[in-house]
Structure 1
């Protein structure tokens, strides 16, 4: 009798593990910034994402003309173009919450404090392939130096950037954002996943299952409406990126 109970308990634990691993994962868009006195892509937003125990915190990266990687969504900060200016020109500029513009190194060092939090690293398209390529190499070098390779997943709207990440680190997790590739085409390009605006999965209702059947990870962005969230949960999507992570967590529970 005791052996039977023990076996049933082990089976239950195994099934529970499968269920948890298959559950849709929550990604906070630009960190969990939608809190008092906070800002998108700030260190504070990263800390808040870790605090509510989401799967991942997404952030945006560009490289300056002297090779410093910084975390900021737009290609400029306070009207100063990042890619064509030196770091010294922008290093003292402030985010809306008063934080100084974070470098990628500062951001990753903070993220390393939360080993259960994935850092969803969006490398922005740049004005030239040369700048994209050097940004990829600088990113991979820094991630390796800081020992956070297992915490970082890469995404980009640039096919070239995604290809370069895979070329220089074949084991890296790389998902494509733009939405102009079918799941089959993304698989042929050796990407890890597709990460598309949620409306594309409405227009192409088989894409989630098609991609998963090909072994691709599927994410939808940026999903802030409860009905849209539930629709994607019903389709068993792998990840959802949202500005409302706590709302999504409640739906999943």
Structure 2
């Protein structure tokens, strides 16, 4: 286990209080990424294998995790699943190949986003900040584990009427950031919640995949859009498959 490192100098950006866990078995990559993240003001915990990473996560409860796919002891996919059993903290997967089935497996296991190695540190930081912003919109309680406090998230609901939104047995409280199905609360990850709020803001309107990428992930995707499809699949499993309709060749819409 590697202890947390604190930034050596002046911080950059507004997420200086965020604590990250980087699990990467390649020592050169691990140290390079760690030092780059420290320069942006993050506190970084590191681990070289999946089991140690899980131990560090349980002890430190970081705000966000960066997981390499190929790890000894417990691979990144397995670690992602174990973390998802404990927390809704954002997870960013690191993959050596953008077209790898590992990427799909990671997203299906509960990851929120992925980057392809090697990658410029500025790109990784942009993805981290995007995930942290999404996490700030979600309520943090005893079941959500890590993640920043939710006070800044109120503005996310201003584009949606503050009253409860009802779609059949699905009830959405945009101000309280709470979703219930048949009266039972749903545990949505920050990404799933933000995606659902985008659908709920425009019920019956088709949202293209790249529109969702821009609004939910805060960036324009230059490659495939599997990340959207897999998150829609996960969201459907929680709110009901019939709630989100696929419009072939265009995107998705929330049924009124």
Q: Which has the higher contact order (CA 8 A, sep 6+)?
A: 1
TM-score normalized with structure 1 length: 0.31
TM-score normalized with structure 2 length: 0.31
Q: Rg larger in 1 or in 2?
A: 1
